[in-house]
Structures are given as C-alpha cells and as structure tokens.
Amino acid sequence: MKLSGAQLETFRRDGLLILPGLFSADEVAAIRAALAPLFEEDCDANIREKTGAVARTVMGLHQRSELFSRLVRHPRLVEPARQIAGRDLYIQQVKVNVKAAFEGDVWQWHYDFATHHRDDGVPAPQALNLHILLDDVSHYNGPLYFIPGSHRHEPLPTFHDVTSTSYPLWVVDRETVTGLIAEGGITPAIGPPGTVLIFGDLMVHGSPGNMSPWDRAIFSLILNPVANAQTAFARPEYKHHTDFTPVVALPDDCLLAPHAAHV
Ligand code: SIN
Ligand code: MN
C-alpha cells in the first residue's frame, strides 16, 4: 500500500495522517483475539494503571505472540512508513495502550522523541508511530489529541513526570502547550476500529482519562531508521527493542491467511 501525494503533503503539513478503514473488521477481530491472553500474563512488560486494577500498556507483543510478529511486518504499516522515513527501518517498540473503561488514565502532553532521545539516546526525531484503533474511538473514551503543526518546531523543552501516572514520561509544560494549541488547535483521533494513525517523533499529543463505559485499545508500532538507532541501553528490551535488522513487509493477507513462510 502506498500513500498518495496528497496524503504525503497532509502528513508534512499537519504531522498526522488519519486513515479510516485500513484494517477490516475480521483483521481487527484477529488482533483482539491474540491480545486477550496477553493481558492475563503477569510480567514486567504488562504495565498496570496506578490503581493496579487494569493494564495500562502491554508491550513487546511481537516477541510474545505469533500474530503480533506478523502484524509488525504488515505492508499496510511498513510500506507507508518506508515512504516517509526511508527504506531501512527497525522495530523500536510494539504495544497496545489499553485505556480501559472507567479506569484508563491520562497520557500527558508529550512528544515521543523526548523519551527516545533522553532515555534511549536516539540521535534525531526520525521515528514514526503507527497506530491501529482496536475499538470504536469517540470523543468520550479517551481519544488521542494531536496538535497539528507542533512537529514543525525544534524539540521543545520537557520535564520528566514520574508521578502523574504509572508510566514515567518526558512531558511538555502547560505554557508551551497553550502556545502550540493557539497556533494549531487540537485534532482528536476518533474513528471506527481498523482506523490507522501515522505521526512522527516531534508531534505533540496526549489523551484524557476514560471515564466512559467503553474500552479504548490502540495498537502502536514505532519504526525507526536503522541509521538513527538508539545509543543508550538503560531501558528494558520491551521499551526499546535492540534488534536493528530492517523490517521486511509480508504479503497483504498475512493476518488472516498466514503461510508457513510468514512465521
Ligand atoms: C495513548 O494511548 O493515548 C497515548 C499513546 C501514545 O502516546 O502513543
Ligand atoms: Mn506518545
């Protein structure tokens, strides 16, 4: 699958692409079925909300599940990423952010490069974050908010927030966010299951808590150019994978009709 010239132009201008209907209902059902047993596992890569009641983020999935090992090589993710970020990309991070009904906590305003650079020594903001909505995401169940155009700034000042949620994050302060929103507004990433989001390492984003009765799970794959690989290795493998082999796309039917060669 290739992005059109108009889509590439939108990505350059806004820093975000929202692509509805990229994955079918059957494909999303297969992803969700593979996810269910992973939620139950008691391991460091399953990070719970502060309350301890439910999973917040479930990481390292392509190393824990055969289906996810195929999903990270899906051509509808890998080919657009290569068009934007270059040919040789490695799998940096693979997770599902759960944001459970009633329990799912906020993700503060941040851009991913702050963490990639400060914690992992990634040199430049070249990684791409590719999301698949696994639930119907509405205004009510904690959608991601993006600030269009925020990606065109030089890396903004951040501070390390280790108290607001169970997940330490380099975040952007309120004054800076106020200025960015005055310029670019907010785009909520809402849509039916199977919608894909693509955004870069400098895009400022966050999401409110989920006080609705509806879950809001999102799959996230981060791909980074091999030439821009991490230089610091303090974080665990499930937060930044250390296999810098370029990802190779599988055939388009790899989720529903897996062949032995895909495994
Ligand atoms: C969220 O799941 O709302 C936050 C995801 C992200 O920061 O990539
Ligand atoms: Mn993020």
Q: What is the pLDDT along the chain (263 residues), one digit of tens a residue?
A: 899 999 999 999 999 999 999 999 999 999 999 999 999 899 999 999 998 889 999 999 999 999 999 999 999 999 999 999 999 999 999 999 999 999 999 999 999 999 999 999 999 999 999 999 999 999 999 999 999 999 999 889 999 999 999 989 999 999 999 999 999 999 999 999 999 999 999 999 999 999 999 999 999 999 999 999 999 999 999 999 999 999 999 999 999 987 655 65
Ligand 1 centroid to residue 130 C-alpha, Å: 11
pLDDT of residue 53: 80
Position 242: which residue type? Answer: T
Query: What is the helix (H) or strand (E) element at residue 85, kind and residue range?
Result: helix 75-85
Instruction: State the virtual CA torsion across 114, 115, 121, 122 in degrees, nearest 10.
Output: -70
Provide the residues around ligand 2 (an ion) whose CB is within 5 A: 112
Position 169: which residue type? Answer: L
The overall pTM is greater than 0.75: yes
Return the SS3 of 175. helix
Residue carrying structure tokens 């991070």: 93
User: Ligand 1: does its nearest atom lie under 6 Å from the Cβ of 218?
Assistant: yes
Residue carrying structure tokens 């599902």: 96
Nearest ligand to residue 100 Cα? 1
Distance in angstroms (rounded) separating the CA atoms of residues 94 and 132: 12
Return the ligand 1 atom nearest residue 142 CA. Answer: 3
pLDDT of residue 48: 94
| Residues ≥6 apart with Cβ < 8 Å to 179 | none
